[in-house]
Amino acid sequence: MTTGEAQAAVQPGPPTIGALFLGFLGLGLTGFGGVLPLARTMIVERRQWLTAEEFTDLLGLCQFLPGGNIINLSVAIGLKFHGARGALASIIGLIAFPSAIVVGLGVVYDQVRADPHVQHMFAGLAAAAAGLLVSMAIKIALPLRNRPEAIVVAVLCFMAIAVLRLPLLPTMLTLAPLSIAATWAMRLRASDLGRPRR
């Protein structure tokens, strides 16, 4: 067995409470203003706490729930591995430094907000954040490429919200049951096809 094969065979174990705290602490510090794309990289690729499919499914649930999706995601991952203590460690790690930074920046921004250089800087930051979101959307969509029912629901959701400008809540309340029913039907069909004929 080569070194590469040995490394591929080793699956990382579940994260400790300390690892959850430190992982989300680092995420909160490095992902200021655009944390979701970095969250996927940290959770799926670097730390391998979840597979790409698990991340996409969990993020879908977290986006449906009220509140910020990264907050919901940190709580869900903490709960998955260590219950309430894991959820608390994850969310405290995620929000500790960003909260302190926001308060500090708010004080500074109040002093310089009329400066045109500052206004141009924020316009550039907005463009960079938009690019990160597009990149993340592509990475999240990739695990769905073999699930036609998920692709149909994703396209319908995009059309309803981005093109038709329908409100989010009625769109989600309509498409979530449709998505569940379609996934259930596809899995039933797949299990029926796998059964031997009598």
Greatest Cα-to-Cα distance within the chain, rounded to the nearest angstrom: 79
Predicted TM-score of the model (pTM): 0.56
What separation, in Å, do the N-terminal and C-terminal C-alpha atoms of the chain show? 44
- CB of 129 within 8 A of CB of 137? no
Q: What is the pLDDT of residue 5?
A: 45
- CB of 36 within 8 A of CB of 69? yes
Residue 34 gets which letter from DSSP?
-
- CB of 127 within 8 A of CB of 33? no
Q: What is the pLDDT of residue 128?
A: 86
134-165 pLDDT tens trace: 888 888 888 888 888 888 888 999 899 989 99
103-128 pLDDT tens trace: 998 898 888 888 888 888 888 888 88
Rounded to an integer, what distance in angstroms lies between the CA atom of residue 65 and that of residue 85? 21
Percent of the chain past pLDDT 90, that is, above it, reads: 36
In this prediction, residues 74-100 reach a mean pLDDT of 94
Q: Name the pLDDT band for 6 (thresholds 50, 70, 90).
A: very low
DSSP E strand stretches across the chain = none
